[in-house]
Amino acid sequence: MDMKYIKTLLPLVGLYLLTACGATSTTTHSANEAASFNVLNEWGDLYGQSYLPDFTAHTDTLHEALAEYCEQASADQLNDAQQAWLASHSSWQTLRVINVAPLTDGLPTYGDRIHGGNLFGGAGVTAVDALLNKALPVDSIGRGSVLVQGLPALEYILFEKIPMQGLNQHQCLWAQGIAENLFTMATQLQAQWLANVQDFKHPTEVAAGYIDRTQVLADVLNGVNERIEIVARYQLNYPVGIDHAVPELFALEGRFSGESFHVIANNIAGLKRLMSGGEYNLRTLLEDVGAGEHAHSLQTIVDRLEAQLLVIAAFDVDVLSIDTSSDNPVRSAYIQLHDDLISLSALLFDHVIDAVGGTALFNSVDGD
């Protein structure tokens, strides 16, 4: 074969290879787009049509139940208000695994105001007591500290303050103000989600929002990963005494209501729904983009989390009641739950977010 023929042939071969690679790249991108379209549509509707409306309805019931207690204080009325709080709390813990901050810039955020979580601590008790004794009239609680807004403040009032000391009429007005503000935030959060859900589901059609679905997925999964690490650290590591010999309960959620186990269980229920529930989920997305190995690892961890929850539920031992002085099946199950959450976080950070085209970010829990 002479050199002139080779020089003529090489550009044609190169053009063929470039065309073939381009076709493959286009096909892969189209497959990824279709897979992410299905997942984000399902998640957008899950929040807009189910999770957020349910939460708003529960907070409305809570607001009304507390008002009825204040009109005629009784054990039955208090129980009704507590049950309404438990329903609101359970609903929030399930939906909060997606960071429900605004989908576009310039909108108010509600996450920490609805549930300050590990921020509450002893400072929250002091702040709520001060608010309850503040001079009337009730002013805008929404402009105050996050410690006196939302579910943790009402948990303290309903499960600690009232049973131990009761509320006078003055304090009841402030408590009703907190409940009304919670309902207002839930209503606004739902409206905010519905108004911007197209940016979540179809970002290329919204001028000022996300660039594409890959950016949405990366944002969601990085937020989910941060939530996983918060649960692992503040709801398991510290109170169970995994890294420290002395358990630390200052940041434990649900300690007044005895709901600390259900905080964990409901967060994991929310995670499970996104990871492997419904018709389209993170596992099906990974399978569709050719990351079957990671999909299998994801399902394995989700199954292990579910198994540990069943063990703990069978013993019916809340986080506050764990015997941390010795090795026992309940403590071992809580420790394994922690370890499995850390494994899930590592899988998302090291592999999954990259597999769907995103960039894994260090989060504020680690201070990075």
Q: How does pLDDT run across 254-273, given as a tens digit for each residue?
A: 999 999 999 999 999 999 99
Calculate mean pLDDT across residues 147-160.
95
If pLDDT is split at 50, 70 and 90, which confidence band does 106 have? low
Do 200 and 226 lie in one domain? The reply is no
**168: pLDDT confidence band, cut at 50, 70 and 90?**
very high
Residue 21: per-residue pLDDT: 46
pLDDT higher than 60, residue 18: no
Mean pLDDT lowest among 129-133, 207-211, 321-325, 357-361: 207-211
CATH code of the domain containing 132: 1.20.1420.20
Same domain membership, residue 159 and residue 54: yes
The secondary structure of residue 258, as a DSSP letter, is: T
What single-letter amino acid sits at 72? Q
**Report for 73-87, 234-248, 310-324, 349-363: range of highest mean pLDDT:** 73-87
Three-class secondary structure of residue 360 per DSSP: coil
Last residue of a domain, one of 205, 237, 257: 205
pLDDT exceeds 80 at position 26: no
Q: pTM for this structure?
A: 0.88
| Domain presence at residue 25 | no
For the chain, the domain total comes to: 2
Q: For residues 155 and 255, give the distance between their C-alpha atoms in angstroms, rounded to a whole number.
A: 9
| Structural domain of 297 | 212-368
User: Do 98 and 224 meet the contact criterion of CB atoms below 8 Å apart?
Assistant: yes
In sequence order, the 6+-apart residues with CB closer than 8 A to the CB of 212 are: 203, 204
Does a structural domain hold residue 364? yes
Give the rounded distance of the alpha carbon of 284 from its chain centre: 20
Per-residue pLDDT reduced to its tens digit, 286-311: 999 999 999 999 999 999 999 999 99
Least confident of 21-25, 66-70, 207-211, 328-332: 21-25
HSE value, Cβ hemisphere, 13 Å, CA-based, for 198 = 6
Q: Is the pLDDT of residue 326 over 50?
A: yes
**Candidate ranges 127-131, 136-140, 196-200; pick with highest mean pLDDT:** 127-131
Same domain, 258 and 310: yes
Residue 8 placed within a domain = no
Residues 152 and 47 in one domain: yes
- 4 assigned to some structural domain: no
Are residue 40 and residue 173 in the same domain, yes or no?
Answer: yes
User: What integer is the mean pLDDT of 30-46?
Assistant: 87
Question: What integer pLDDT is reported at residue 211 of this predicted model?
Answer: 85
- Say how far apart CA 52 and CA 191 lie, in whole Å: 9
| Distance in angstroms (rounded) separating the CA atoms of residues 73 and 68 | 8
Q: What is the pLDDT of residues 344-358, one digit of tens each?
A: 999 999 999 999 999
Does residue 15 surpass a pLDDT of 80? no
pLDDT digits (tens, 9 = 90+) for 39-98: 999 999 999 999 999 999 999 999 999 999 999 999 999 999 999 999 999 999 999 998
Least confident span in 46-55, 71-80, 131-140, 157-166: 131-140
- Given 176, 205, 234, the domain boundary residue is 205
C-alpha to C-alpha distances, 23 to 27, 150, 165, 327, nearest whole angstrom: 6, 52, 72, 58
152 within a domain of the structure (yes/no):
yes
Please give the average per-residue pLDDT across 213-229, as a whole number.
92
Q: Is the pLDDT of residue 14 over 90?
A: no
Domain-embedded: residue 135: yes
Q: What mean pLDDT do residues 225-239 have? A: 93
